[in-house]
Structure 1
Amino acid sequence: MIWRLLKFIKKRKEIKLRKKFFERNGGLLLQQQLNSPEGGLDKGRILTVMDLVVATDNFNKSRALGHGGLGTVYKGMLIDGRIVAIKKSTAVYEGKLEQFINEVVILSQINHRNIVKLLGCCLETEVPLLVYEFIPNGTLFEFLHDANDELPVTWETRLRIATETSGALSYLHSAASIPIYHRDIKSTNILLDEKYLAKVADFGTSKSVSLEQTHVTTLVQGTLGYLDPEYFQTSQFTDKSDVYGFGVVLVELLTGQKPISSSRTEEGRSLATYFMISMEENQLLDILHPQVREQATREDIKRVADLAKRCLHLQGRNRPTMKEVAAELEEVRNITFPSRIQRNKKSDAAVEEHADGLEPSKMKAETGTLALLDERPLLVTTSW
């Protein structure tokens, strides 16, 4: 009898604590967004802590995908069968809950095939948990820098990944309902799905901005090798700061070299600096990856390298916009691989046309690609 009473009291305390965390983490505000006609947020995106405990076998260490300075990402399976990645932070952030909820709402409404989807969140724990789709083939960094003779990274693949990534960033900057600065563009934050399509991930430091804003002023944070020098000097992050980070990724794709390397000379330890010096000294061909040098035309190399150079200009105002970057890469790709792109477009159109006549219950079974646009695995990067 006493054991049952103690068990009941313990359960009541747990329920009260979960309610306290839910309210403190902005759960009531999120519920208002759900009830708002224009909110457009699926109620299924609010998950309970028990949903995630079951999904991860109580956050079993064997389910950990990676560890970072701010927490751990776990692989799990929701009750509906979806494979997900759950980011569990170890840091408690006081205040700014309204901004946190706003970010959840914004990311929940983003719908782009090359951006990892935020599937939901849990507010019943001391620190909110974020639930993403799971992306199976790791990061672009691993794909480029971990040698794999069985899966060489061809020029066509490099150009496609660059085009897909730039298109996603262009969408965030100029096509989303509210412009979003990613603020941590790097090859470890670009994931590759089961078909090695690019997925931009990790929006932990992202900022949404009003249409009239030109920058956000913040404490300087970022990743060495990708950090915009202008942002470092002024603490003002602009859309062109994302462009700079993408420029470094583009050089990684061209050269196959890491953003920071002690094997290069002191002056060129930064890949961006090494690349710019090579361009100025007309030695670009010497630093290109063999796959690029052998498979790409000189015209392709010149156009993409010149584009990367413009992205890495020290003054942000002289860099192109992501929309301009995406358009130029798309043009290069259309000219170089027109038949492959046309076949892909026809294939996508056929899938969509077939899916239009399917009942929702049959869509997943009969259209793997289309269904996975909403259910494809998501990722996690270990360096937050």
Structure 2
Amino acid sequence: MSNPVLAQPPISKPNCQSNCGGIEIPYPFGIGTGCYINDDWFRIMCDNSTGNPKPFLNRTNLEVLEISVEEGTLKVRNPITFSNCSNKPISSQTANLEGTPFAYSQKNIFTAVGCGVMAMITSNSSGYTISSGCSSQCNISTNRSDTCQAALPSSLSAFNTSFQDYGNYRTQSSCHYAFLADRDWFGNNSTNFSAIREMDYVPVVLQWSLFHSTTDVFGSYFRPNFTIRSSGPGRAYCLSYNDSSSINESSRLDCSCAGGYKGNPYLLDGCLDINECELPGGDCFEPFICVNSNGGYGCYQPKSNSQVKVIFIGIGSGLGFLFLLIASWWLYKVIKKRKAIKQKAKLFKQNGGLLLEQQLSSGEVNVEKIKLFNSKELETATDHFNVDRILGQGGQGTVYKGMLTDGRIVAVKKSKVVDGGEVAQFINEIVILSQINHRNVVKLMGCCLETEVPLLVYEFIPKGTIYQYLHQQNEEFLLTWKMRLRIAAEVAGALSYLHSAAGFPIYHRDIKSTNILLDEKYRAKVADFGTSRSVSIDQTHLTTIVHGTFGYLDPEYFQSSQFTDKSDVYSFGVVLVELLTGEKPVSLARSSEARGLVTYFNFSMEENRLFDIVDARVKEEGVTEDILAVATLAKRCLELSGKRRPGMKEVAMELEGIQKSVQASKLQHKQEEVEYVRNEVTGDCPWDVASESTGSGLEGVISSSKDSLPLLSL
């Protein structure tokens, strides 16, 4: 009978040694570079030093006796532990497999031989102690050794063997020993204990596993609980699953050849078809003949002429049915495509596409700066809008963190609801942001109109909002007085630009600390223009439905519904007080009269008790005159009458002046320190005379010191 496999299946990679000392070395194990999987634990060292080649497992130095790909096991030599036995060592060190892809298999059994002794196997694996053992009894008069056996603890990767006296049986001179061994091997040798006593090692079974962190089988990446099939003529199935009892609690990968195939499933095309027709019992009864096929076989009756006609009719019918099936599939695809086009058109209109086209045709929107993303691209970028990607939620929608195909990190804003008002706000935000080009305003990268709810794509600002740093516990980073002053100046500059330097005035209408973000260098970025409005140059105000956040809302706007640039000034004044005091705009922790921060602040200013509410860090780092200057500016911004408030341009200029004053003060302080050090160094030293005579030495030192001052930290 010929070989039932059409071709001998490979066990190792091409051009790799597959045998050492008569022991086969199947992949993922291998001898030599590139012959084993990308994990050094699976490297086999073939030792030829004694003239009789022996394979050893790399890094554990265990001699390999057998490797089974089908069962995921390998047999190695394991030492026997002796006690009080002549010509035997007192103890032997067993292999510690912790942190390796190997563990002791349940196919092993623990056996102890002795007279009146209890043998224990103990392991401290996985952070807790597990133990097992057994006790042997014997006739004290004959002092004849007895045996006992115990099952192996699960997930065993390291163990120690110890002996204890059991009852009154043991004698001081008795020899006893214990070992962990393969059950099958022990079954063949269990009656010959005298022969085992003369051995130093017995075969033990290890189980091995591949883990995704170090595995690249077939060049593929596997997800947990996911079954795949290899390409090519071979059929191998691999199951990837989480194994909490395994090493590193990682995702484990087990592969095997499909039914009807045989070989090494860890090799690409390593499983070859078995010719079942040549196997015992695979023949068919007459008059049927056996015909082999990939993965199986069939029994067929020899064809007559009438049968040939039937076959042709069947083939014709099959081809007709196949043609009908292809035509139906093509028609289905055409209908589905048309539906998709209609759905996209509907969503485009629903999400304000016509309104945006109207804005584009009017020339108000800078088309070059806006990219139209497709829905699939943004779903992939946000992992299908995974809740773990949420950066924040507000009245206008939810913001997700995403990564585009080119590697750029973005923030994707998804509206909560879709109605006429929300769509108008969405298109309004696109129109406004397309006109803004300022370093302290969040940049709009594009939008998507193909989804059920509209989407905006912004640049990603990584450091969160100033609200988080002012009002939430953040021990890793605290806002210094210098940073607060700089943030205030940057926000004021951005609002001044929106009010007066843009193409035409833009009112933000929702300035608050949660809408001021910080980039990687902690520079301020004004965000969320969903309620913003642009006005013509000759307009002085907007009459709208009142929008805003309680605690920041301009009381004059609340009463009149007329929003002006001074309404943004009022909201900025609240943010300025937040930066000074570290207090929330509204807090139930304060008294009923002072729950509103504006009232609390104005009262403290009138009572000349400003520094009772100023943040401790501001008082520690700031100069009194500078703090009073900022507080006075904030009070002017919070005037009830909008006409008495300064414009944002004036506010920005005053903050820049205060900021420069702080920098100049610190620079002067540093110069005085340097001058003091210079006088101390040059006071009574011998080179004073040389400096006067040459007129250059000391001047060079002073000049160099002054030139270095701007490099000092302010």
> Shorter-chain TM-score category?
0.7 to 0.9
1:55 pairs with 2:381 = yes
Contact 2:636 2:644 in 1 (8 A): yes
* SS in structure 2 of the partner of residue 151 of structure 1: coil
Measure, in 1, the Cα distance between the counterparts of 2:636 and 2:369.
Answer: 44
**Paired position in structure 1 for 2:368:** 42
Shift of 1:149: 3.0
* SS in structure 2 of the partner of residue 261 of structure 1: coil
Distance 1:30 1:296, change over 3 A: same
Measure, in 2, the Cα distance between the counterparts of 1:140 and 1:295.
Answer: 19
Alignment partner of 1:126 out of 442, 452, 457: 452
Distance 1:315 1:95, change over 3 A: closer
Letter in 2 for 1:323: K
Contact 1:108 1:120 in 2 (8 A): no
Letter in 1 for 2:651: V
Matches within 5 A, 1:20-99: 20-27=346-353, 30=356, 40-42=366-368, 45-94=371-420
**Paired position in structure 2 for 1:210:** 536
Distance 1:124 1:144, change over 3 A: same
Matches within 5 A, 1:154-165: 154-165=480-491
String of CA shifts for 1:275-300, please: whole Å, max 9, x gaps.
00000000001110011111111110
Measure, in 1, the Cα distance between the counterparts of 2:607 and 2:665.
Answer: 36
Distance 1:315 1:47, change over 3 A: same
Distance 1:110 1:310, change over 3 A: same
**Paired position in structure 2 for 1:274:** 600
1:229 pairs with 2:539 = no
* SS in structure 1 of the partner of residue 659 of structure 2: helix
Distance 1:102 1:221, change over 3 A: closer
Alignment partner of 1:289 out of 594, 615, 624: 615
Percent sequence identity over aligned pairs: 66
**Paired position in structure 1 for 2:565:** 239
String of CA shifts for 1:10-30, please: whole Å, max 9, x gaps.
343122211222244443564
Identify unmatched segments of 5+ residues in structure 2.
1-324, 668-714
Letter in 2 for 1:295: E
* SS in structure 1 of the partner of residue 367 of structure 2: coil
Contact 2:586 2:596 in 1 (8 A): yes
String of CA shifts for 1:167-194, please: whole Å, max 9, x gaps.
1111100101011100000000000111
String of CA shifts for 1:18-48, please: whole Å, max 9, x gaps.
1222244443564576678885421752222
Measure, in 1, the Cα distance between the counterparts of 2:542 and 2:362.
Answer: 28
**Paired position in structure 1 for 2:438:** 112
Measure, in 2, the Cα distance between the counterparts of 1:87 and 1:203.
Answer: 12
Matches within 5 A, 1:10-29: 10-27=336-353
Flag the structure with higher helix content. 1
Structure 1 stretch 51-60 or stretch 170-179: which is displaced more?
51-60
* SS in structure 1 of the partner of residue 517 of structure 2: strand
Measure, in 2, the Cα distance between the counterparts of 1:78 and 1:138.
Answer: 20
**Paired position in structure 1 for 2:546:** 220
Identify unmatched segments of 5+ residues in structure 1.
342-384
* SS in structure 2 of the partner of residue 324 of structure 1: helix
Measure, in 2, the Cα distance between the counterparts of 1:238 and 1:38.
Answer: 22
Structure with larger Rg: 2
Contact 1:77 1:84 in 2 (8 A): yes
How many residue pairs end up in the alignment?
341
Measure, in 1, the Cα distance between the counterparts of 2:364 and 2:531.
Answer: 26
Flag the structure with higher strand content. 2
String of CA shifts for 1:227-276, please: whole Å, max 9, x gaps.
11111111111111110110000000000111111111111100011000
| Aligned residues: CA RMSD | 2.4
* SS in structure 2 of the partner of residue 219 of structure 1: coil
1:305 pairs with 2:646 = no
Shift of 1:146: 1.6
Letter in 2 for 1:49: S
